[in-house]
Amino acid sequence: MSARSWLTASAFTVAAVTLAGCAQLAPEPSAAPVAEAAKWSYDGESGPASWGAVDSSFEACAAGTAQSPIDLPLTVPVTTTSIDLAVEAVDGDVFDSGHAVEVETDGEGETLTFAGDEFSLQQMHAHVPSEHTVGGQPAAAELHLVHKDVDGNLLVLGILVSEGEASEALVPFIEAATHPADKDEVVLDVAGVLPASLENYEYSGSLTTPPCTEGVQWVVLSTPISMSAEQIDTLEEVHRHNARPTQPLGGRTVVGGTGEVENEG
């Protein structure tokens, strides 16, 4: 095995093991990602309404009772908790996961503390339009920053996007998204991506893509960030409408939270 093919295989193993908040789980490192990705889609016969029937391992997509995304209330519930983000420059590779433009990090550079548990950033990807809605209304786009703790528990930080000024911090990600097959290495300024306020909605949900695994902690920031129409168009050209419809809240409760960010340079 050449150094290059080892790197490729190794990178894929990491991608498979780190589970990818909204990417599919590959059963074997050697499995063809394209074949896996082709099993489900965002429209037609393999679209969201059929995910539970596409593969036996996707059962939670249909039978789950704590699924994501959900419709969020217009007013953030009374704040009860706080998250802490410690960020520095994050290195990662930008590529097309098959269902979203994604930057996969080396797991270093950003940690998020939630309820005393420390999570580290594994990957970030984009949905156009947003998956979570607020008062029934989708945002132009939504970024998902997928985090994992040492026990493998997942926390996804959701950032809603409004169309407006360009995001300077997202320029390297967007530029790499224009040629996602090249797997460009970028430096992501996570602190620069965040909105001014970390006020948020928190609830327990699932991956928003098959296998729709539950037990995922969601933290969705209530303040949207801004991206230009051109930036949103670039992401949309790679994947058009990669958003799962909202799911029933059921017996769950959405609580409010705040947060602080510490930029470590």
Tell me how far, at minimum, the Cβ of 124 lies from Zn ion, in Å: 9
- Residue 99 annotated to the active site: yes
Q: Kind and range of the H or E element at 3? A: helix 3-17
Are 161 and 194 in contact by the 8 Å Cβ rule? The answer is no
* Closer residue to Zn ion, CB minimum distance, 39 or 263: 39
CB of 265 to Zn ion, least distance (A): 28
Q: How many CB atoms lie within 10 A of CB 9?
A: 13
Q: Where along the sequence are the contacts to Zn ion (CB under 5 A)?
A: 22, 144
53 CB-near residues (< 8 Å, 6+ apart): 62
Active-site residue, from 99, 127, 144, 239: 99
**Tokens linked to 131:** 């998956």
CB of 21 vs Zn ion, minimal distance in Å: 5
Give long-range contacts, CB 8 A cutoff, 24+ apart: 115-121.
115/81, 117/149, 117/153, 118/149, 118/150, 119/147, 119/148, 119/149, 119/153, 119/155, 120/147, 120/148, 120/149, 121/90, 121/145, 121/146, 121/147, 121/190
Closest distance between Zn ion and the C-beta of residue 127, in Å?
A: 5
Residue 144 or 239: which CB sits closer to Zn ion? 144
Residue nearest to Zn ion (CB): 22
Kindly tell me which of 143 and 174 has the beta carbon lying closer to Zn ion.
Answer: 143
Output 238 or 262, the one with its CB closest to Zn ion. Answer: 238
- Residue 68 CB, nearest distance to Zn ion (Å)? 9
Place of tokens 């300024």: 189
CB nearer Zn ion, residue 144 or residue 147: 144
Regarding beta strands 71-72 and 214-227, do their DSSP bridges make them parallel or antiparallel, or are they unpaired? unpaired
Q: DSSP readout, 79-121?
A: EEEEEEEEE--EEEEEEE-SSSEEEEE-S-SEEEEETTEEEEE
8 A C-beta contact, residue 182 and residue 230: no
Q: Are 7 and 1 in contact (CB under 8 A)?
A: no
Whole-angstrom Cα distance, residue 50 to residue 193? 34
Closest CB 176 distance from Zn ion, rounded Å: 18
Q: Which is nearer to Zn ion, 237 or 264 (CB)?
A: 237
Q: Please give the positions annotated as active site.
A: 99
